[in-house]
Structure 1
Amino acid sequence: MTVLQAPNAPAPAARADDRWLARRRWARAGWLYAFMLVMSLFFLGPFLMGLLSSMKDDPNEYPPRLAIPQLSARYIGAAYNLGVQGGGDGWNGGLSPGRTVNFDVSVRSPQGAPQAPPTVALFPYQPVSLVSIARYAQARDFAQVQVTPTGSVGETRSYRITVRYPALTRQTGRVVTGQLTAPTDTLSARLENGQVVPVTLDTPEAQAVQFNLNQYQPVELVENGGRYYLRGPTFERTPLQVDVQRGQSLESSTLPPSDRQNFGRSLAYRNVTPGVLGYTFNNYRRAFNETTNPATGNSLFLKWVLNSFLYAFLRVIAAVVFCSLAGYALARLNFPGKNLVFIGAVLFAQMVPPQVNLISNYVLLKDLNLLNIWGLWFNGLVAAGGVFLMKQFFEGMPRELEESASIDGAGPFTTFWRVMLPQAGPALIALSITQFQGAWNDFFWPLIILRENTNFTLTVGLSNFRQLYGGQGDYGLILAGAILSAIPVIIIFVIFQRYFVDTGADSAVKG
């Protein structure tokens, strides 16, 4: 039997070779993507691990867990409900006068172990702060705690812990919040609109705590007939301690405990009225709140972020203006000493470390009274690396563009401004990103020049976090600050990375 084959049909051996080449191409592509995936995890792994750890109550746990309660929908919903019960706000939480909070726990009590209910109590929590502040009142001094059995299943007994905070006034009316002013013979408070009002104490309980409340203490008031009555201080946190007997163990609770001590029999909940922000993003909220000056209400952390943005913005503007002008002049213009200027002012400036001229620059800025953000910007006004980048870019552009502009009667500056600079978009984007990143992460000169904590950039402020909180092992707040400092650089790069392409200048020239 004779098999007929089309004249142009490939031979079986050729088809096998094509399939083998196709498999090789797919295998190479697969290995390439696998390598890129591994490298992305290698570079992004520390950032993602820091992001997850910044949300934990205990970022020092070992081995570290990727599944954390702060990202669980169940516990986020519970935190929201507890925030509503304690402060009427499911996002910010807190404990306000007249509120009652119910917190459930389940304790396993095997046969032969004590069957007594757990011992509960509120404990004080005074956060460490970069700003010297008076110690605020504590929830344990005003709230009452009660334990009630709610049922049992086998060896597990369920209990409801009720935290009740009675109001200090008998008055009813419009409830407002405020902050106590400087203590005098009569109590007064500053409302949220800035108005200072006298506070009436109409119960013995309110009169008893009058001189126990410090200045700047957040309080809740009742407005009735133009008069303001003290309803009670408000609290951001409601720390709860639960102790079980030997032989007992905690099975479950509305929120998982923040800390376990005494072989798991002493359980600490740093806040049983957290709200979503106080539970999932507690360390981030602390970064802003624990640096707030109570006298002014301004957050130092927010000020550091704004200072870093201002410094980075000024550096970018200066680099775009001066580096593009200097780079074009060194690349295209002919003037005496051009090579000497390039070698001495650009290359040599990059080779000399900044520590060499530390004293001279500092003395100069001090004499000019520029030990602030403006002096920091003036110290790095022209970036030698930026000049080198722009020079190399302009040298790679075709001279026909300038010749065409010259024929039309354009001078050097008009040629630069109207012809060359519009073609330098990718180089300017690259220059802006590198300058922004360098200014945002700059630490050495801000540490030397900036003296007041209100003038700090974010890098210098985070170093204070490390000194203050690192010694106590409170790395969650440090990680939160580090993550916040990394986000702007990532966003800038993601937005502008698509501009890292060719200029298209070659297509502007025919021939």
Structure 2
Amino acid sequence: MTALSARQPAKAGKGEEWLARRRWAKAGWLYLFMIVMSFFFLGPFLMGLLSSLKDNPNEYPPRLIIPQVTPEFIGKAYSLGVQGGGDGWNGGLKPGRSLTFDVTVAVPKDAPQTPPTIFLFPYQPTSLVALARQAQAKDYSTVKTEKTGETGDQRTYKVSIDYPALTQQTGEVVRAKLGVPTDKLTAILANGKAVDVTLDTPQAQAKQYDLNETQQVELIKSGEKYYLRGPVFERTPLEVDVERGQSIVASTLPPSDKQNFDRSFAYRNVTPGVLGYTFNNYRRAFNETTDPRSGISLFMRWVLNTFLYAFLRVVSAIVFCSLAGYALARLDFPGKNLIFLLGVLFVQMVPSQVNLVSNYVLLKQLGLLNLWGLWLNGLVAAGGVFLMKQFFEGMPKELEESASIDGAGPFTTFWKVMLPQAGPALIALSITQFQGAWNDFFWPLVLLRNQVNFVLTVGLSNFRSAYGGQGDYGLILAGAVLSAIPVIIVFVIFQRYFVDTGSDSAVKG
């Protein structure tokens, strides 16, 4: 008897250890499952984010460690930006500046012993808006190549890019809007005063009519005269070519493009700065959609239009869906079930494309082929009415009975009793409507014709057709990531309301 009782605690201890291991095993499998699912859900977004930083998002095989996020190359981009434009963040090339760029070439003994051919080339991405041809750094700068070292069959060359400035700055830099008439060059100062301008460099004098009103320049005040110092270049494209048998093995920055079996390297910008190197596609999304007539970035305008459209959709959904949902859930009136069947369920079953022609003709006759017509087309969301109806049906009837005893009518009961308790449902409705409006593409594509009135989805689709018909995927991915950020922020902040409910605390006892 004593021996049996002594064995029982030992068995009980082993049983508890087994149960504990089983609980930990279940928890481990659960976390592993969550990690795998998070990879499937977040993986495409993270890959899109990483690819939006690359010069070539279509590279294969794709790399997870890229130069644009490597501290070594970010530091070199900062240094080149300081050399070329005096700004390590924005970079660029300004008059009176020079920079050096190193290139290492492998030259075997049986290969030609000639030095590489290095030159600046013209590069101007096509924009959504009609811009005049921009001045190119190759027309104003000089390139010199000098061999600085040799180790084995590898030779290192120093590339010097010099952008001379004839007039030294002795006064202040004045912010001005440049105008280029055909008879003389003038500038309009910030105070509205027009002044004559003397071109700074001989190159600028020879190519003065290449400078259009969208070209970046510096206006220098020296004594009583104003000098145009520029133009200022946002990017400095460089190309390096070597002979057959040679190969380029290293350079200050990795190339943007490789051709001719890695014997031709192209650098879209050797004075990028940090923003121009790591976030170049994001900067282009704002800069290359700037309307020269108004100076407004179309991309920023699309963002504001999308926020306005989403805000109007959320407000109308909160007002009309809550009223309709409460009426269908709590009020008794003739035809209620028929209205619910035809006005809510049937509408959700019918695709919106079925009403395309009739809705478009109606909005066109009303002169509403704009954001207001887009909002009117989706004024009441059938899915939102269904959501609010189901929520109000799940709330306790004691709330309405108590309000009725106190003498409250139907609208007072709805406004002061039921609606305050519907916070979780209203938050869920707002999130779904905001997300739906933000990602809406079909109806904005049909109704909106003016680029200024575009929403983000339509504007991003134009990136593909505007850039040579092939698609500038770095720019498209950058715009897609920017458009996804607001939806992610809204969902992360308010996601807890999807599972929260206020009806549990509405009645005590």
TM-score interval, smaller chain? over 0.9
- The alpha carbon displacement at 1:285 in A equals 1.0
Structure 2: how far apart are the matches of 1:233 and 1:177? 14
- The alpha carbon displacement at 1:493 in A equals 0.4
Structure 1 residue corresponding to 2:40, chosen from 27, 39, 42: 42
Structure 1 residue corresponding to 2:467, chosen from 466, 469, 478: 469
Distance 1:304 1:203, change over 3 A: closer
- Give the aligned residue type for 1:85: Q
Structure 1 residue corresponding to 2:12, chosen from 11, 14, 18: 14
Structure 1 residue corresponding to 2:130, chosen from 129, 132, 145: 132
Q: 3-state SS of the aligned residue for 1:145?
A: strand
**Count of residue pairs brought into register by the alignment:** 509
Give per-residue Cα distances to partners, 1:442-488, cap 9 Å, x unaligned: 11111111111100111111111122237335211111111111111
Q: 3-state SS of the aligned residue for 1:246?
A: coil
Structure 1 residue corresponding to 2:493, chosen from 485, 492, 495: 495
- Give the aligned residue type for 2:269: N
- The alpha carbon displacement at 1:201 in A equals 3.4
Structure 2: how far apart are the matches of 1:67 and 1:85? 27
| Aligned match of 1:399 | 397
Distance 1:129 1:332, change over 3 A: same
- Give the aligned residue type for 2:268: R
Distance 1:148 1:194, change over 3 A: farther
- The alpha carbon displacement at 1:508 in A equals 2.6
Structure 2: how far apart are the matches of 1:47 and 1:193? 47
Q: 3-state SS of the aligned residue for 1:471?
A: coil
- The alpha carbon displacement at 1:203 in A equals 6.2
Within the alignment, does 1:341 sit opposite 2:314 as a pair? no
Q: Map 1:174-193 to 2 at 5 A.
A: 174-176=172-174, 178-191=176-189
Within the alignment, does 1:444 sit opposite 2:442 as a pair? yes
Structure 1: how far apart are the matches of 2:4 and 2:16? 22
| Aligned match of 1:424 | 422
Structure 2 residue corresponding to 1:279, chosen from 262, 267, 277: 277
Q: Are the aligned partners of 2:464 and 2:472 in contact in 1 as well (CA < 8 Å)? A: no
Within the alignment, does 1:306 sit opposite 2:300 as a pair? no
Q: Are the aligned partners of 2:164 and 2:201 in contact in 1 as well (CA < 8 Å)? A: no
- The alpha carbon displacement at 1:95 in A equals 0.7
Structure 1: how far apart are the matches of 2:433 and 2:505? 29
Give per-residue Cα distances to partners, 1:298-337, cap 9 Å, x unaligned: 1111111111110000000100111111111111112222
Q: Map 1:38-187 to 2 at 5 A.
A: 38-169=36-167, 172-176=170-174, 178-187=176-185
- The alpha carbon displacement at 1:433 in A equals 0.5
| Aligned match of 1:229 | 227
| Aligned match of 2:290 | 292
- The alpha carbon displacement at 1:153 in A equals 2.7
Q: 3-state SS of the aligned residue for 1:355?
A: helix
| Aligned match of 2:385 | 387
TM-score (norm 1): 0.95
Unaligned runs of 5+ in 1: none
Q: Are the aligned partners of 1:82 and 1:274 in contact in 2 as well (CA < 8 Å)? A: yes
Structure 2 residue corresponding to 1:360, chosen from 335, 358, 361: 358
- The alpha carbon displacement at 1:191 in A equals 4.9
- Give the aligned residue type for 2:10: P
- Give the aligned residue type for 1:495: I
Give per-residue Cα distances to partners, 1:400-424, cap 9 Å, x unaligned: 1111122222222221111111111
Structure 1: how far apart are the matches of 2:393 and 2:307? 32
Q: Which has the higher mean CA deviation after the structures are superposed, 289-298 or 70-79? A: 289-298
Distance 1:196 1:427, change over 3 A: farther
Structure 2: how far apart are the matches of 1:444 and 1:209? 46
| Aligned match of 1:414 | 412
- Give the aligned residue type for 1:404: S
Structure 2: how far apart are the matches of 1:30 and 1:403? 49
Structure 2: how far apart are the matches of 1:112 and 1:316? 71
Distance 1:430 1:415, change over 3 A: same
Structure 1: how far apart are the matches of 2:364 and 2:62? 48
Structure 2: how far apart are the matches of 1:168 and 1:179? 22
| Aligned match of 2:314 | 316
Give per-residue Cα distances to partners, 1:348-402, cap 9 Å, x unaligned: 2111211122122112111111111011101111111101100100000001111
- The alpha carbon displacement at 1:226 in A equals 3.9
- The alpha carbon displacement at 1:65 in A equals 0.7
- The alpha carbon displacement at 1:500 in A equals 2.0
Give per-residue Cα distances to partners, 1:39-85, cap 9 Å, x unaligned: 11011111111111111111111111111000000111111111111
Q: Are the aligned partners of 1:371 and 1:449 in contact in 2 as well (CA < 8 Å)? A: yes
- The alpha carbon displacement at 1:204 in A equals 4.7
Distance 1:442 1:194, change over 3 A: farther
Structure 2: how far apart are the matches of 1:38 and 1:195? 64
- The alpha carbon displacement at 1:277 in A equals 1.0
Q: Are the aligned partners of 2:329 and 2:390 in contact in 1 as well (CA < 8 Å)? A: yes
Unaligned runs of 5+ in 2: none
Distance 1:56 1:111, change over 3 A: same
TM-score (norm 2): 0.95
Distance 1:266 1:194, change over 3 A: farther
- Give the aligned residue type for 1:118: P
Q: Which has the higher mean CA deviation after the structures are superposed, 181-190 or 124-133? A: 181-190
Q: 3-state SS of the aligned residue for 1:506?
A: coil
Q: Are the aligned partners of 1:469 and 1:478 in contact in 2 as well (CA < 8 Å)? A: no
- The alpha carbon displacement at 1:3 in A equals 6.0
Q: Map 1:22-41 to 2 at 5 A.
A: 22-41=20-39
Q: Are the aligned partners of 2:135 and 2:231 in contact in 1 as well (CA < 8 Å)? A: yes
- Give the aligned residue type for 2:232: T
CA root-mean-square deviation: 2.0
Q: Are the aligned partners of 1:361 and 1:379 in contact in 2 as well (CA < 8 Å)? A: yes
Structure 2: how far apart are the matches of 1:411 and 1:330? 16
- Give the aligned residue type for 2:322: S
Distance 1:287 1:314, change over 3 A: same
**Identity rate, percent:** 74
Q: Are the aligned partners of 1:122 and 1:139 in contact in 2 as well (CA < 8 Å)? A: yes
- The alpha carbon displacement at 1:193 in A equals 7.0
Q: Are the aligned partners of 1:183 and 1:214 in contact in 2 as well (CA < 8 Å)? A: no
Distance 1:204 1:122, change over 3 A: closer
Q: Are the aligned partners of 2:463 and 2:471 in contact in 1 as well (CA < 8 Å)? A: no
Structure 1: how far apart are the matches of 2:310 and 2:398? 36
Structure 1: how far apart are the matches of 2:210 and 2:423? 63
